[in-house]
């Protein structure tokens, strides 16, 4: 019997040696894949490819009893490969975004703001739009690198995202003699970026637009993808255009001056993306909160890039990025400014999720310091649903919603206002 045991152990040792050699060969190839992805801007996470590898590999196992075990082993291998690619690429990167209306680079680098003169084409008239909440040195860095800068500083907040303010940007450019050869640079958060991009899209039927997002929310979400616009008559983003930037500069160093509440709002958007597309990132946020902020930015950008490339105009896949926004926008409008956008998105995700996904989303939101409780009066409930009924995501027969019942996977459906009200009632404490 001992001879049989020794023989079996030797076979295991021999198999382990072969596996180790194969593992080294595999990871060498994985590193080459990572380098290719760096050059082409392709995302590390490719769920379709991973599913294909697992299916193909499992089919190679002749013993049906062993197939589920091998599938689990391959799933772990996919996770290890992703981690290795992240390490190989680090988080300082130039991510290339390719869309039908034009490609551009997202430059993710600490200290990139100091290099703005060599990264952007500023040897012309430059309209720099910012707000009074952005540190002056950020705007000054762009102005000093520009040949003919004009700086327009707006009041901070959603109230600046209105048509009269948008018109004032256009008027300033017209007064300053801007032509189609000149450009607009946004230095600020989502409001500044949306407003500036919309102005660039309209002036002379479109001039170059550069975006330098200075909040976490705008760095990982609203600052890229080409959606620009303003609010009108209390309805968010109902007037606007798709206008892709020429370049986006993301310098995580600027987050050091960001108000902690604003930082948490940005992390809500990261949780949203992870919940819909990347369960591994969701687990990392649960485990480390904002501790791996560079990775959170990088991985969120890769998700957003992949989505935008496949669906620039929000006709399908890109609608998944509205997860949490349907009721979130309603909560935001009804709060009258008491709650910030990211806080409302965090709350808006909860009625749209279920099971393990909901538990993980709540854990992730708590890990980054966001509240998941909301007390709703009948009056507030009515105001939320009224705002939702005017949302641009409305569809014939109801309101289009995104749901997440499994971490990393989303669903889409159309519900009535009554059904959305029931979701609110099941999730939050409703006062009578």
- 424, 381 Cβ separation under 8 angstroms: yes
State whether the Cα torsion 269-295-225-403 is positive or negative: negative
User: Is 329 a catalytic site residue?
Assistant: yes
pLDDT of residue 220: 93
- Compute the residue count for the chain: 432
User: Is 366 a catalytic site residue?
Assistant: no
Per annotation, catalytic residue among 264, 272, 325, 358: 325
Contacts of 306 (CB under 8 A, 6+ apart): 43, 45
* pTM score, whole prediction: 0.75
User: Is 125 a catalytic site residue?
Assistant: no
User: Is 269 a catalytic site residue?
Assistant: yes
- 323, 404 Cβ separation under 8 angstroms: yes
Per annotation, catalytic residue among 38, 42, 161, 314: 314
Per annotation, catalytic residue among 42, 86, 227, 246: 227
Per annotation, catalytic residue among 38, 319, 329, 360: 329
Radius of gyration of the chain, Cα coordinates, nearest whole angstrom: 24
Per annotation, catalytic residue among 86, 109, 304, 358: 304
pLDDT of residue 27: 86
Per annotation, catalytic residue among 161, 309, 312, 322: 322
User: Is 322 a catalytic site residue?
Assistant: yes
Contacts of 187 (CB under 8 A, 6+ apart): 128, 129, 130, 134, 138, 139, 142, 212, 214
What is the residue-level pLDDT of the chain in tens, covering all 432 positions?
678 888 888 999 999 999 998 998 998 888 888 777 766 656 677 778 888 999 999 999 999 999 999 999 998 888 888 877 766 655 557 888 888 888 899 999 889 999 999 999 999 999 999 999 999 999 999 999 999 999 999 999 989 999 999 999 999 999 999 999 999 999 999 999 999 999 999 999 999 999 999 999 999 987 788 899 999 988 888 999 999 999 999 999 999 999 999 999 999 999 999 999 999 999 999 999 999 898 899 999 999 998 888 888 877 888 999 999 999 999 998 998 899 999 999 999 999 999 999 999 999 999 999 999 998 888 999 999 998 887 655 666 789 999 999 999 999 999 999 999 999 999 997 665
Per annotation, catalytic residue among 272, 298, 341, 358: 341
pLDDT of residue 282: 96
pLDDT of residue 375: 87
Question: How many Å apart are CA 85 and CA 47, to the nearest integer?
Answer: 15
User: Is 86 a catalytic site residue?
Assistant: no
State whether the Cα torsion 112-113-118-120 is positive or negative: positive
Domains and CATH numbers, the chain: 2-89 (1.20.59.10), 93-257 (3.40.50.1970), 260-430 (1.20.1090.10)
Which two tokens mark 388? 């939702």
User: Is 358 a catalytic site residue?
Assistant: no
pLDDT of residue 40: 67
Contacts of 333 (CB under 8 A, 6+ apart): 234, 236, 383, 384, 387
DSSP 94-123: EEEE--TT--EEEEE-TTGGGGHHHHS--S
Per annotation, catalytic residue among 2, 3, 205, 418: 205
Question: How many Å apart are CA 304 and CA 276, to the nearest integer?
Answer: 11
- 93, 38 Cβ separation under 8 angstroms: yes
């Amino acid at each position: 019997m001992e001879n049989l045991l020794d023989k079996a152990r030797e076979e295991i040792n021999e198999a382990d040696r072969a596996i180790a050699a194969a593992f080294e060969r595999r990871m060498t190839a994985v590193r080459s894949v990572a380098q290719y992805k760096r050059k082409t801007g392709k995302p590390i996470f490719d769920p379709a490819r991973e599913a294909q590898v697992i299916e193909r590999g499992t089919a190679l196992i002749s013993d049906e009893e062993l197939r589920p075990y091998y599938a689990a082993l391959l799933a772990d291998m996919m996770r290890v490969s992703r981690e290795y690619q992240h390490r190989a690429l680090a988080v300082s990167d130039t991510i290339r975004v390719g869309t039908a209306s034009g490609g551009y680079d997202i430059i993710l680098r600490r200290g990139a703001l100091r290099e703005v003169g060599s990264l952007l084409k500023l040897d012309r008239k430059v309209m720099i739009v910012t707000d009074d909440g952005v540190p002056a040195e950020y705007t000054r860095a762009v102005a000093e690198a520009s040949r003919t800068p004009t700086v327009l500083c707006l009041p901070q907040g959603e109230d600046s995202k209105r048509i009269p303010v948008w018109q004032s940007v256009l008027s300033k450019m017209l007064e300053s003699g801007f032509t189609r050869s000149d450009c607009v640079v946004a230095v600020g958060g989502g409001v500044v970026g949306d407003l500036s991009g919309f102005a660039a899209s309209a002036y002379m039927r479109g001039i170059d637009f550069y975006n330098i997002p200075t909040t976490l929310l705008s760095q990982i979400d609203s600052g890229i993808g080409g959606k620009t616009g303003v609010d009108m008559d209390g309805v968010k983003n109902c007037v606007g255009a798709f206008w892709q930037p020429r370049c986006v500069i993301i310098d995580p160093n600027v987050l050091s001056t960001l108000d902690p509440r604003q930082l948490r709002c940005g992390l809500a958007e990261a949780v949203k993306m992870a919940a819909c597309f990347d369960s591994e990132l969701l687990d990392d946020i649960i485990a480390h909160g904002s501790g791996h902020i560079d990775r959170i930015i990088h991985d969120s950008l890769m998700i957003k890039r992949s989505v935008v490339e496949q669906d620039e105009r929000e006709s399908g896949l890109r609608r998944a990025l509205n997860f949490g926004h349907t009721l979130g926008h309603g909560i935001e409008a009804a709060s009258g400014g008491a709650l910030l956008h990211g806080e409302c998105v965090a709350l808006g995700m909860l009625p749209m999720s279920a099971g393990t996904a909901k538990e993980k989303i709540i854990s992730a939101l708590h890990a980054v310091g966001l509240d998941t409780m909301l007390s709703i009066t009948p009056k507030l409930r009515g105001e939320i649903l009224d705002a939702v009924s005017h949302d641009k995501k409305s569809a014939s027969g109801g309101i289009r919603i995104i749901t997440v019942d499994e971490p990393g996977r989303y669903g889409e459906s159309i519900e009535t206002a009554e059904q959305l009200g029931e979701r609110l009632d099941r999730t939050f404490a409703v006062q009578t």
